Amino acid sequence: MTHEGQKKESKIEVIKRESRYLRGTLKEALQDESPLFSEENVQVLKFHGVYQQDDRDLRLKLKKEGKDKHYIMMVRARIPGGVLNPDQYLVFDRLADEYTDYGTLRITTRQTIQLHGVIKRNLKTAIQNLNEVLIRTLGGCGDQVRNIISCAAPGDEPFRTEMREDVLSLVDRLGAKTRAYYEIWLDGEPVQLDEGESEEPLYGEVYLPRKFKVAMAPEGDNCIDVYDNDIGFVAHIENRHVVGYTVLVGGGMGRTASDKATYPRLASPLCYVSRTDLVETAAAIVTIQRDYGDRVNRRFARMKYLIDRRGSDWFLTELESRLNRTLEAPRPLVWHSAADHLGWHREREGVSYLGLYVPNGRVKDSESVKLKSALRDIVREFRPTVRLTTQQNVILSGIPDELRPEIERKLREAGVPLVEEVSAVHRHAMACVALPTCGLAVAESERALPGLLPVFERVFEELGIADEPITIRMTGCPNGCARPYNADIAFVGRTMGKYDVFLGGSHLGTELNELFKEFVPLDQLVDSVRPVLAAYAQEREPGENFGEFCRRVGLDRFRHVEQALL
Ligand code: SRM
Ligand code: SF4
């Protein structure tokens, strides 16, 4: 039964309830010879940070040969704020070589690493290896609070340390507590629960109705797209210290192209809380979604739909009643940047950090660019802290200034471009994984965007807008994993080879874009937006960015131009 009516709960709710706090029959399944998990275990596995996939490039060939799919697992770690010590990074690097089909690491849009292509037989060892360096995968996926993201830039300002402490407190309070993880992957002793005792005091036995995302940004720099999360905390900083947080709620990108009732939504400001009240406020919000979120129809189960259904006033009243006090109004928010943190920056006296561009987050060695090897060698030799950004890049931090030339030399030798050699078009672009591993992809993304960006570079050069911070994001389906709906330009896969084009978001992540054209073939994507870019180059007002221009002049004008030409 749900709060939203009398209808039957979804099948996944039943699986969760019957899983005994995420045990399912995973322990047994890991011992059998089958290359795949049962349907129920596939759902439970997600909570442990593992997706069962198959290599979609091989499907047709294997089918013709009368063989089953090539089943592989994707392992997604939980790395709060994207911070890894050198040993942790090196374990990922090694596991990619030893246990994955592709030999790559994939930095995600939520500051973690995915290993694609681990076969079932190797899964337990891979997860054990991660746990040996204190990397958990519990919470990587599933209907629970996912990896909590936060600005990855290091620095000696006290507010950075305070935000880090607060992120870790949130992880501690909001993360899953089940001992199943230790029993299944680390051979821990089974726990004996007393009658009525819960292993998940916050979630209960059915966890949350849907995935739940939490983010923390310092006021002024929206490098993490804080508005795209179920809860966004924006730190207000006075005299270099965090004084409190404005709380944003109800963000989310996911939509279904064929269902107009679904939509992306930016989180809206709800209240302001002090640092001391942060964690309990977050937990209380989670319990509202736990108790009232839709458990019948997963398509409408994210908290954004709950808030829109019941209203922000209801939500605030409910929160106040759970916290037993009146909450302060949110503070006004001002954004100056959405920094990518690339290049060299001062971290503290005599110490720097280096942000490196990783095309679509894929850490690999190619013929000409040996990024994976270079990172491994640098991390081994100089032992920087490795920080992953939500723009799929990597930061090497804690580097004594005198080592800078040596590190640059190593990167150049490996063919890794430094920021000066990366165009603005590339710096501001992102693609989701899509094919061949994502089971939901209907079009290419990570493998298609690299072909488009050089063409955009030429167009931007011709139009004299090469240095403008125009974000281009691509996804292989409407789910929105590369956060396309607040990009200036977005290509969202609609069917194989065709994309919906969205225009007019904002580089600062504060505006949603608008659907411009549907079903545009891959080779016509650049041309489809060229007239708008040309008009922007000609007619923009001083300081006006691309998204603002689109919203000021309206996209109809360009739709009509094209219709007139037809
Ligand atoms: Fe995502 C599902 C990859 C960030 C919205 N996402 C998936 C799955 C697991 C496909 C599946 O369910 O079978 C994809 C695995 C592909 C693969 O082979 O690796 C996948 N999502 C990713 C990553 C790896 C994209 C990337 O290129 O980096 C990101 C991993 C983040 C992480 O480390 O946890 C990733 N996904 C996002 C984001 C961006 C964000 O959170 O900032 C979103 C939009 C924000 C949001 O949640 O609303 C996002 N992913 C989705 C959705 C749509 C959710 C919805 O509310 O409708 C799905 C599908 C679903 O949940 O049913 C999805
Ligand atoms: Fe897969 Fe779609 Fe997410 Fe891309 S946006 S990774 S295609 S679910």
Kindly state whether residues 406 and 483 are assigned to the same domain. Answer: no
Query: For residue 155, what pLDDT band results from cuts at 50, 70 and 90?
Result: very high
Given 382, 399, 422, the domain boundary residue is: 422
In degrees, rounded to 5, the angle at the alpha carbon of residue 150 between the alpha carbons of residues 148 and 151 is 160
Q: Which pLDDT score, from 0 to 100, does residue 564 have?
A: 46
Q: Which pLDDT score, from 0 to 100, does residue 5 have?
A: 52
The CATH number linked to 397 is 3.90.480.10
| 417 alpha carbon – ligand 1 mean position (Å) | 28
Asked if the model's pLDDT at residue 6 lies above 80, the reply is no
Residue 80: inside a domain:
no
Residue 52: inside a domain:
no
* Integer Cα distance of 242 and 148 in angstroms: 18
Average pLDDT of the chain, as a whole number: 96
Domain count of the chain? 3
141 is catalytic: no
Residue 413: inside a domain:
yes
Kindly state whether residues 464 and 395 are assigned to the same domain. Answer: no
Mean pLDDT for 190-203 is: 83
Kindly state whether residues 375 and 435 are assigned to the same domain. Answer: no
Kindly state whether residues 292 and 153 are assigned to the same domain. Answer: yes
Q: Which pLDDT score, from 0 to 100, does residue 194 have?
A: 73
211 is catalytic: yes
Side-chain-side CA neighbours of 176 within 13 Å: the count stands at 31
Mean pLDDT for 441-450 is: 98
List, for residues 280-335, the tens digit of each pLDDT value: 999 999 999 999 999 999 999 999 999 999 999 999 999 999 999 999 999 999 99
Mean pLDDT for 367-380 is: 98
Is the distance from the beta carbon of residue 440 to the nearest atom of ligand 1 less than 6 Å? Answer: yes
Which residue is listed with tokens 């789910």?
479
Is the distance from the beta carbon of residue 252 to the nearest atom of ligand 1 less than 6 Å? Answer: yes
Kindly state whether residues 368 and 434 are assigned to the same domain. Answer: no
Q: DSSP letter string over 322-342?
A: HHTSPPBPPPP----B-----
Task: Name the residue range of residue 386's domain.
Answer: 343-422
Mean pLDDT for 375-403 is: 98
Residue 61: inside a domain:
no
Q: Which pLDDT score, from 0 to 100, does residue 553 have?
A: 97
Kindly state whether residues 386 and 515 are assigned to the same domain. Answer: no
| Residue in 141, 151, 438, 550 annotated catalytic | 438
Kindly state whether residues 329 and 236 are assigned to the same domain. Answer: yes
Q: Which pLDDT score, from 0 to 100, does residue 562 have?
A: 54
**Residue pair 504/538 in contact by the 8 Å Cβ criterion:** no
Note the pTM of the prediction, 2 decimals: 0.97
Find, among 490, 506, 516, the residue nearest to 549 by Cα.
Answer: 506
Residue 83: inside a domain:
no
Residue 447: inside a domain:
yes
Kindly state whether residues 2 and 150 are assigned to the same domain. Answer: yes
| 282 alpha carbon – ligand 1 mean position (Å) | 22
Is the distance from the beta carbon of residue 439 to the nearest atom of ligand 1 less than 6 Å? Answer: yes
Kindly state whether residues 416 and 447 are assigned to the same domain. Answer: no
Sign, Cα dihedral of 234, 237, 242, 245 = negative
Residue 50: inside a domain:
no
Q: Which residue's C-alpha comes closest to atom 38 of ligand 1? A: 481
**Residue pair 162/242 in contact by the 8 Å Cβ criterion:** yes
Given 407, 422, 437, the domain boundary residue is: 422
The CATH number linked to 296 is 3.30.413.10
Compute φ and ψ for 273, nearest 5 degrees.
Answer: -130, 155
Which residue type occupies 369?
Answer: V
Q: Which pLDDT score, from 0 to 100, does residue 196 have?
A: 74
Kindly state whether residues 494 and 374 are assigned to the same domain. Answer: no
Q: Which pLDDT score, from 0 to 100, does residue 191 have?
A: 75
Given 298, 313, 338, the domain boundary residue is: 338
**Residue pair 359/372 in contact by the 8 Å Cβ criterion:** no
Ligand closest to 253 (CA) is 1
Q: Which pLDDT score, from 0 to 100, does residue 565 have?
A: 47
Kindly state whether residues 397 and 493 are assigned to the same domain. Answer: no
438 is catalytic: yes
Q: Which pLDDT score, from 0 to 100, does residue 2 have?
A: 45
Asked if the model's pLDDT at residue 14 lies above 80, the reply is yes
Kindly state whether residues 379 and 443 are assigned to the same domain. Answer: no
* Integer Cα distance of 463 and 530 in angstroms: 10
Residue 186: inside a domain:
yes
List, for residues 86-105, the tens digit of each pLDDT value: 999 999 999 999 999 999 99
The helix-helix angle for 278-292 and 312-323 (nearest 10°) equals 120
Mean pLDDT for 256-261 is: 95
